[in-house]
Amino acid sequence: MTNSLLKISNVDISLPEGSERLLAVENLCIDLAPGETLCIVGESGSGKSLTARALMGLLPAPHVKVSQGQIDFCGEDLTKVTERRLREIRGSEISMIFQEPMTALNPVMTIGSQIDEIFRYHVSMSAAERRERAIQLLDDVQLPDPAQIVNSYPHELSGGQRQRAMIAMALALEPKILIADEPTTALDVTTQAQILKLISDMQAEHQTGVLFITHDFGVVADIADRVAVMQYGHVVETGTVDKVLNNPEHPYTQALISAVPSLLPRSARARSEETVLEVKNVNKTFGGGSSFFKFGKPSRVVDAVKDVTIELRRGETLGVVGESGSGKSTLARCIIRLMDSDSGQIILNEVNICDLNRAEMRPWRAKIQMVFQDPFASLNPRVKIGQIIRQGPIIQGATQEEAEARTLELLEIVGLDERAFNRYPHEFSGGQRQRIGIARALALNPEILVADEPVSALDVSIQAQILSLLDEIRTKMNLSMVFITHDLRVAAQVCDRLAVMRYGEIVETGATADIFDSPQHSYTRDLLAAVPGQHWER
Amino acid sequence: MNDFWKRFSRNRSAVLGLLILCLVIFVASIASLIYPGDPFLYSQYPLSKPGENGFLLGSDSIGRDVASGIAHGAKTSLLIGLIATFAAVLIGVIFGALAGYYGGLVDDVLMRVTEVFQTIPSFIFAILLVAIIKPSIESVVIAITVVSWPAVARLVRGEFLALKNREFVQACHTLGMGDYRIMLKEMLPNCLSPIIVIGSLMVATAILIESGLAFLGLGDPNVMSWGFQISDGRSMLRVAWWICTFPGIAILITVLAINLVGEGLNDALNPRLRERN
């Protein structure tokens, strides 16, 4: 590329002593042309976010710093410029959008005054002009009623609206480079599709160079011109999006791409006649409470789960899919009786477990177990792995020896070394912790496993391993599974049947293949259409 | 444990505090060896200056040895501080844990009770309690406990509220684990660090309250304490400065030492602050 906007050559970023590795990023060479989108892809810890921060001069110095190399931006070396010049560049020539718009925006300032700040620091304009520009910008990013939004606080907007406001701020001064650090990871899939489109529209209009950091190959396929794949701080492969996605050369890229779940649903299995779990007309509302002395208005009532009816047959995996706030996690917690549903029946082996009190529920607990989303929060940091897995059977009446034997057996089933028995959770990686969580759930020999987003906190290659582990266990133990996910790719690979949830209601149920081929409800169609990277299928 | 000590010892002033505290404990434990006999025993040399007539730190208006009083008083102060703190932490943890874990009505009732205790200024409340029950070492301990537990209850409640919805606690519910076991074995170990920190700081406050009560004449008249010594010498501050000054210094450095240790524990036990220094 001749007219390069940004040229990073031989950059090393050093980490403080005692870190996992010496250099976060080693010998990095990347360039970016105007109007081009370069995607940096990699798993967590690959150094992609630090690269972005280095460009903005936002590394947490003095612990982490660029120790070698040049970052050439239109003839200036960003590693050498003064702090003053760097401030001028930030926001006006290079700007950045972050993953979580709620934490990137100041909660006590209105959107308008946050945009206003950018103009105040970088250009001289009158207050009225600045306000007009701010409204104009919010209009450009297609926010409804910009004159109103300019006076709103971040918490009054939805996640997607906040990210639009962030983009408006980032593009306020028409920067030459926009750095986007996982800007859609925290968003729902339909919102993500809109934001991606917005970014590429804005880019086409202003000829901005976009450096887009992501871990999602679907997103890469949708927006990238070129791709750089990072692993352990090295760029292992760069090339055009077509070349990298369809003819990856480096084994790591090949492994990453083959780990991306396909959107083609798995072949349907024969459906058993035996129903193991029936959920009938279950409702759950939140809020409506008032204070101790009954002062003040009761709080707003939210229908988290509304009249939900589902049926789970033996050996079947039922996927519950939906966006955040659709009530799928609440439904899972009602099924497992972590929450009490307001009305309706949950029938397990012909018994309505909603009627059971805590003591009566205890023997039923063994039949239905849960795998949690966050592998870091779901294990008690102060308890050893052996104890975590063992305590379930002991509570249910097994002897110490039986429980211990079972624990060792389970560690082997989930692919962990038996030395794990005497270790604490912090000694394990995210994927290993999720294996431990699965072992804990299996320790009671359950008939039903409720998995609440079990792979959404994991990197794509680990995700593939956990999914295949779940698949293996399911066949071996003839488990029935309720699988909660927001990721339709994962759902396609795991689930025999799907239930699509929106605003607490199930809008559509059916065999996975049928729903993917001919979605009946308009919401299901929107969801399917919004999955990134559809035109790219291996 | 090694790791913990390494982090603790990185804070120099905390180590200094620990050394002073050890010294105070040492003096308290050998008080009856170095000053055998009753610290209330008077001699025929009243108002001796420090170093005179064999009194290291002087003697008071009726000839009692100030140094002996300080050594025996150290035992009183530390014991009252430790026992009262232990009792307050116990009550506070029980109240806070139940309120945070069960929430709802239990939380409302327990927290309103806690608030009633918190609305009364703690020192005035302690004076009131001791005046009602009759001054004795037990009543002083009870008074200090009663005024100090609400802070612990609030802290533990907050920790339990945050832990209650963590996934590992929910996982215990799905295994059918009982409430008390979840609270004791799963949740409590996860909030030990802040409890240890607040407890260590409470020992210092307890010693101050005890001295204050003794100064006002509400201490146990049969037990030597630093507050009693100061109270006794205050009318003679201009003629015999040493009677008040040395017990005062004893209180100052003991409380300072405990606070330093408490802060050191806070830094060492709170991993988020680890990188601050």
Selection from A261, A365, A375 nearest residue A319 by Cα: A261
* Closest-CA distance of chain B to residue A366, Å: 7
Question: What CA–CA distances, in Å, run from A70 to A33, A54, A66, A73, A235?
Answer: 17, 11, 9, 9, 16
pLDDT at B275: 44
- Name the strand (E) or helix (H) holding A305: strand A302-313
pLDDT digits (tens, 9 = 90+) for A383-394: 889 999 998 899
What's the distance, CA B56 to chain centroid? Answer: 28
pLDDT at A358: 81
Write out the DSSP string of B158-191. HHHHHHHTSHHHHHHHHTT--HHHIIIIIIGGGG
Q: Where are chain A's structural domains?
A: 6-259
Query: What ipTM describes this predicted complex?
Result: 0.78
Whole-number Å distance between alpha carbons of A35 and A50? 23
Whole-number Å distance between alpha carbons of A33 and A74? 11
Give the whole-number percent of chain A exceeding pLDDT 90: 22
- Enumerate long-range contacts of B137-143, CB under 8 Å, 24 or more apart: B137/B76, B137/B80, B137/B220, B137/B223, B140/B80, B140/B84, B140/B210, B140/B213, B140/B218, B140/B219, B140/B220, B141/B80, B141/B83, B141/B84, B141/B87, B143/B209, B143/B213
User: What is the bridge-based pairing of β-strands A76-77 and A65-73?
Assistant: antiparallel
Is the pLDDT score of B145 beyond 90? yes
pLDDT digits (tens, 9 = 90+) for A208-258: 999 999 988 888 998 899 999 998 888 999 999 889 888 899 999 998 888
* Cβ contact A378–B167 (<8 Å): yes
Is the pLDDT score of B272 beyond 60? no
Is the pLDDT score of B276 beyond 50? no
What's the topology of domain A6-259? Rossmann fold (3.40.50)
Handedness of CA B42, B45, B46, B52 (dihedral sign): negative
Q: For A249, what's the count of Cα atoms within 13 Å in the CB-facing half-sphere?
A: 11
* Closest-CA distance of chain B to residue A369, Å: 6
Question: Mean pLDDT over residues B232-256, rounded?
Answer: 87
* Cβ contact A378–B171 (<8 Å): yes
Is the pLDDT score of A327 beyond 90? no
* Closest-CA distance of chain A to residue B192, Å: 11
Q: Judge contact between B65 and B35, C-beta under 8 A.
A: yes
pLDDT digits (tens, 9 = 90+) for B42-80: 777 777 778 777 777 878 778 788 888 889 888 888 899
Is the pLDDT score of B274 beyond 60? no
* Cβ contact B175–A391 (<8 Å): yes
| B175 in reach of chain A (CB within 8 A) | yes
Whole-number Å distance between alpha carbons of A139 and A55? 29
Q: Judge contact between A372 and A452, C-beta under 8 A.
A: yes
Instruction: Give strand ranges (E) for A74-142.
Output: 76-77, 94-97
Amino acid type, A133: R
pLDDT at A298: 62
Instruction: Give strand ranges (E) for A161-233.
Output: 177-181, 209-214, 226-231
Is the pLDDT score of B31 beyond 60? yes
Is the pLDDT score of B273 beyond 60? no
Give the whole-number percent of chain A exceeding pLDDT 70: 97
Q: Judge contact between B55 and B65, C-beta under 8 A.
A: yes
Is the pLDDT score of B114 beyond 90? yes
pLDDT at B277: 37
Question: Which residues of chain A are within 8 Å of residue B177 when distances are taken between CB atoms?
Answer: 391, 395
| A85 in reach of chain B (CB within 8 A) | no
- Please provide the distance, in angstroms rounded to a whole number, between the alpha carbons at the two ends of chain A: 29
pLDDT at B161: 93
Looking at domain B2-29+65-271, its CATH architecture is Orthogonal Bundle (1.10)
pLDDT at A232: 87
Q: Judge contact between A457 and A432, C-beta under 8 A.
A: no
Question: Which residues of chain B are within 8 Å of residue A444 when distances are taken between CB atoms?
Answer: 175
Q: Where are chain B's structural domains?
A: 2-29+65-271
Q: For the stretch A503-516, what's the b/e string if a residue is b when 16 or more beta carbons lie within 10 angstroms of its beta carbon?
A: ebbbbbbbebbbbb
pLDDT at A1: 44
Whole-number Å distance between alpha carbons of A303 and A114? 34
Whole-number Å distance between alpha carbons of A436 and B81? 44
pLDDT at B1: 64
| Residues 366-425 in A contacting B (C-alpha not used; CB under 8 Å) | 366, 368-370, 372-374, 377-383, 391-392, 395-396
Phi, psi of A284 (to 5 degrees): -150, 125
